[in-house]
Amino acid sequence: MPPSGVNHGSNRPGVSLPGPRPVECGLFARRAGRVHNGAVSSAGFSSIDPAEVSGGRAWWDAAAVEYYTEHGRDLGDCDLLWCPEGVRETSAALLGDVRGARILEVGCGAAQGARWTMTAGALAVGLDSSVGMVQVGMDINRRTGIEVPLVLGDARALPFAADTFDVVFTAYGALGFLPNLAEVHREVARVLRGGGRWVYSAVHPMRWCFPDDPSVQASALTVVRSYFDPTPYAEREASRLVYAEFPHTVADHINSLTGAGFTIDHVAEPQPVPSEALRWGAWSPERGAHIPGTLIVSTHFPD
């Protein structure tokens, strides 16, 4: 059963679906320019109408199975991989002792991380806005026999009561796909109990300054974009937004967290873990030795 406090009503965004509930965004930024089921008529950094922000979830619905086929071996079905640098929860222990804890994975994709916390003794639930990703998660539930409850919902309007969870986390989910980090942090603060932990990994802000091209070697890297440019990356089919990611600076991360009332405990910029680091889009061990690709932030909400 999911933790108490799940909103089962129909008058709030992100209401859960009946049964093993089908499940904002998958793990890790996808490779720029990659096309799924159709031609991208335009791609690059451009402004986005606020009303379009949620439109990118349709890409994840369509690409969910392909995404799992391509990356499922790296992610595992029951594992918490924080980043392409190869940091896994089994060794990093960023969440601490989760035995008996009520845990929410936001932007869970197929909920591999939430599933892992269940095997470690937690009472977990996963939330994602993509029906396609949730369906993949349900398939993994059936195959593994580890039935993590999956909720279809928006990270900006979590369908849970206040003070429900001891830990909330996300590994490359939700934050990079939304323009306003504070909206998510405020919702996480609302559903966390006093003393609860909010831990997340996201694209490192420096990552946006360099080419999204794995063929560019570290010795040839040059800055192609201002660190301070907030213009989102967008892909469109005709005039319809099908995919978007939003750059956020380190100051954006820190100020939005403290503004939501969080205490920052630790910030990490992991270097590649020998034998564990992945080649994923423009992430690679060679580049990771020179340029940070991931930002991991561990926080808690004061009692």
| pLDDT tens digits along 274-289 | 989 888 877 888 888 8
Within a domain: 1: no
Return the structure tokens found at 26.
């998958």
Greater confidence (128 vs 54) lies with 128
Give the confidence band of 91 by pLDDT, cuts at 50, 70, 90.
very high
Contact 208, 246 (CB under 8 A): no
Greater confidence (197 vs 59) lies with 197
Within a domain: 10: no
Residue 121 pLDDT > 50: yes
Within a domain: 259: yes
Within a domain: 293: yes
Mean pLDDT across 111-140? 97
Within a domain: 3: no
Within a domain: 5: no
Q: Which residue has the tokens 């199975």?
A: 65
Give the confidence band of 27 by pLDDT, cuts at 50, 70, 90.
very low
Q: What percent of the chain has pLDDT over 70?
A: 84
Within a domain: 159: yes
Q: Which of 118-122, 209-213, 244-248 has the lowest mean pLDDT?
A: 209-213
Domain hosting residue 67, numbered range: 53-300
Tell me how many domains the chain contains. Answer: 1
pLDDT of residue 266: 97
Contact 261, 301 (CB under 8 A): yes
Question: In sequence order, which residues have a C-beta less than 8 Å from that of residue 76 and are 6 or more positions away?
Answer: 112, 116
Q: What's the CATH code of the domain at 98?
A: 3.40.50.150
Mean pLDDT across 162-189? 96
In 3D space, the residue among 267, 167, 252, 200 whose CA is nearest the CA of residue 24 turns out to be 200
Within a domain: 288: yes
